[in-house]
Amino acid sequence: MTRLSIKGHEFIAAPIRDSFHRRAVMFQNNILRTLRKLDLTEDDVDIPLERVAMKKAPASASWYFEGYHLYYSYQAGAKFVDNLFVVSKVIELEVNALMHGKKTITEFIHEFSEDKDIEAQRKKAREILGVEPDSLDLDLINKKYKTLAKEFHPDTSTGDAEKFKAINRAHKILKRELQ
């Protein structure tokens, strides 16, 4: 069993070895049940399921709360169903923290607030930093960022302020995704 530390929460991710689709539906229902605690309906929530839950694919959930579009995705697991478990668990832990007064509504919204086109932004960010489209290695991303930031810093002879801003934005987007 693997111990995960995500968004300040630690939990154990047990490997899923059978009934992949059934378990994916179970995790989807858990997300819906958890978000109902915030008076959200199924119409406010989107949790896309993969047709083949055992293939390697990212899992995500998006919902509207207090007028904000909130989103969470995870893709470091070996299978879609593993990733959906993590999405389900993180949302459950964050909602419970909100319900028990350990987080404010503002903090909760800040944790999950994302643009609707965040996946496209993440893909573009990886291109800007010159890493593989599916790279999840934060150390590699940080290394590429530092190299490019030094090269394009406006105070250097090869400096380019617009390129430097794009590199910083790209790093911020990926860092938020992977922490």
pLDDT in tens, 123-144: 898 899 898 887 877 888 889 8
Strands 59-65 and 68-74: antiparallel
Give the range among 43-47, 93-97, 110-114 with minimum mean pLDDT.
Answer: 110-114
Q: Which amino acid is at 130?
A: G
Residue 162 has pLDDT above 80, yes or no: yes
Cα–Cα distances (Å) from 90 to 4, 132, 149, in that order, read 10, 26, 32
pLDDT value at residue 44: 92
For residues 10 and 4, is the Cβ–Cβ distance under 8 A?
A: yes
pLDDT value at residue 38: 95
Query: Distance between CA atoms of 95 and 28, rounded to whole angstroms?
Result: 15
Distance of alpha carbon 27 from the chain centroid: 16
Cα–Cα distances (Å) from 168 to 23, 58, 154, 179, in that order, read 39, 25, 12, 16
- Mean pLDDT in residue range 76-102: 94
pLDDT value at residue 123: 87
- Mean pLDDT in residue range 57-73: 91
User: 5-19, 95-109, 112-126: which has the highest mean pLDDT?
Assistant: 95-109
Q: Would you place residue 158 in the very low, low, confident or very high pLDDT band (cuts 50, 70, 90)?
A: confident
Domains and CATH numbers, the chain: 2-112 (3.30.160), 118-178 (1.10.287.110)
Cα–Cα distances (Å) from 121 to 31, 54, 116, 161, in that order, read 25, 26, 10, 20
